Amino acid sequence: MFFSVLTAALLCVLTVKTRVENVHAQEKLFLSSMGLSSPPKPSAHSPVPSLLWKMFESSDRRDSCVVSEYGVRGNIVRFIQDQGRLISAPTGRCFYCVRKHLFFNMSALEDVEQLSFAQLEIKFKQDLSHLGRHVFGMALYRVLKTTLKGVTHESSRKLLQSQTLGYDALGSVRFNLTELAESWRQPAKNYGMQLELQASHNLLDDDAFDAKGVRAGVPIPEFSASLVAVSLNPHQCRSRRKRSASYYPPVTPSNVCKPRRLYIDFKDVGWQDWIIAPQGYLANYCHGECPFPLSESLNGTNHAILQTLVHSFDPKGTPQPCCVPIKLSPISMLYYDNNDNVVLRHYEDMIVDECGCR
Ligand SMILES: *[C@@H]1O[C@H](CO)[C@@H](O)[C@H](O)[C@H]1NC(C)=O
Ligand SMILES: *[C@@H]1O[C@H](CO)[C@@H](O)[C@H](O)[C@H]1NC(C)=O
Ligand SMILES: *[C@@H]1O[C@H](CO)[C@@H](O)[C@H](O)[C@H]1NC(C)=O
């Protein structure tokens, strides 16, 4: 049912048999418009960041080609997971420091997309208030090349930013990485980053040394890193129109061309595993006759008016025009992509608002 609605125009001429045969082709076509080669099979249903939920929930009140949270153009927001590994956990030599490789696979972005904003977020799992008067330094490096021994040589990395964090820091730190993330879209240039957290020396109190003269301190809090990437697919950003308030076609019996009520449940097409929200939506479809004489309310083209006229003389030789969607509106969807990233995306032409004879 779902795919047949997406191709309502074709339906008018397709038989039921070919419709069934085309389901797979239709599914592929729809997925490819989402930049997906196959239905994603998320291995871990990573939690949806609250910011994305908020953006999803307010998406029907906004311009579908602007992400107002960041003040940039875009119709796709991805939460890209960090795939880098820990380089060194606290050891004897550096008891209060952590070094981690950060890697964000940018290949989910299609070539046609324009990256408009990327932001790194380092989120601490504990409240930093436990630090008391202690502070720690945080340094972020861009990795320029890989070396056999790993990236510790200063020549293989470049400092991007360093700062000191104390108990008054918020639960997370953010960096604008738009330029760097753009360069990472070429996989050969993506060596990722290195993050170093280190208990700050000079700011520790004297009593921070224990009896053996070893610097005591507070453990570095656990953290996770993610990259928010906002991009614009200009081909999917035709309308500046707002999403229509859920349109409920009246259920008056009539066999004339008009929108009919159709609720699409993503479970029915087996997509419930990777589509997070909505679980379904009121998509509607167009159905009905385009009889002679074509009245104005049927929104016929001049061509359709002539076609009904010819049909009235020669019903066997010339079919009636088709009842097809002439005005559609977008919806927003939250889903997992093939790399387990959470994606918020606006889709054009998902809800039938008006039908016409064509
Ligand atoms: C990035 O993801 C793509 C699939 O989306 C995969 O083919 C590629 O190997 C990944 N790259 C790395 C370095 O993991
Ligand atoms: C992020 O950085 C880019 C260039 O690196 C800049 O053009 C853009 O204005 C910055 N965005 C924000 C929100 O700071
Ligand atoms: C034709 O368009 C008008 C508005 O332009 C709309 O009110 C009407 O419902 C449309 N007709 C059909 C059959 O959808």
pLDDT band at residue 239 under the 50/70/90 scheme = low
180 C-alpha to ligand 2 centroid (Å): 11
Name the amino acid, one letter, at 296.
E
Q: How far is the CA of 298 from the centre of ligand 3 (A)?
A: 7
256 vs 89: which has the higher pLDDT: 256
Mean pLDDT, to the nearest integer, of 244-264? 77
If you measure from the C-alpha of residue 138 to the centroid of ligand 1, how many angstroms do you get, rounded to a whole number? 28
The verdict on the CB of residue 176 being under 6 Å from ligand 2 is yes
Q: Is 338 in the pocket of ligand 1 (CB under 6 A)?
A: yes
Tokens 């009246």 appear where? 250
Residue with tokens 């753009």: 182
- Determine if ligand 3 sits within 6 Å of the CB of residue 109: no
Which ligand is the nearest neighbour of the Cα of 118? 2
- pLDDT of 230 reads 98
Q: Render pLDDT for 70-113 as a digit per residue (tens, 0 to 9).
A: 999 999 999 999 999 888 765 555 556 788 999 999 999 999 99
Site to probe by mutation for ligand 1, drawn from 107, 143, 146 as the one with most ligand atoms within 8 Å of Cβ, is: 107
Q: Is 254 exposed, middle or buried (0-12, 13-18, 19+ CB in 10 A)?
A: exposed
∠ Cα 157 102 134 (to 5°): 85
Kindly state if the Cβ of 339 falls inside 6 Å of ligand 1: yes
* Predicted local confidence at residue 246, as pLDDT: 55
**Tokens 């049912």, residue located:** 1
Place of tokens 């339906």: 11
- Ligand 2 atom at minimum distance from 71 CA: 13
Cα 174 to middle of ligand 2, angstroms: 12
CA distance 346 to 62: 11
Cβ neighbours of residue 93 closer than 8 Å, sequence gap 6 or more: none
Q: Is the peptide bond before 47 cis (omega within 30 degrees of 0)?
A: no
**Position in ligand 2 atom list of the atom nearest CA 72:** 13
Q: Which of 70, 117, 119, 180 to mutate to test the pocket of ligand 2 (most atoms within 8 A of CB)?
A: 117
pLDDT of res. 349: 86
pLDDT of 153-180, one tens digit each? 667 889 999 988 776 666 888 999 999 9
**Token pair listed for 239:** 């309308």
pLDDT at 233 over 70: yes
The neighbouring-strand residues paired with 356 are 324
Element (H, E) at 3: helix 2-6
| Rounded Cα–Cα distance for residues 187 and 190 (Å) | 5
Residue nearest to atom 6 of ligand 2 (CA): 178
Burial of 189 (0-12, 13-18, 19+ CB in 10 A): exposed
Count of beta carbons in the 10 Å neighbourhood of residue 279: 12
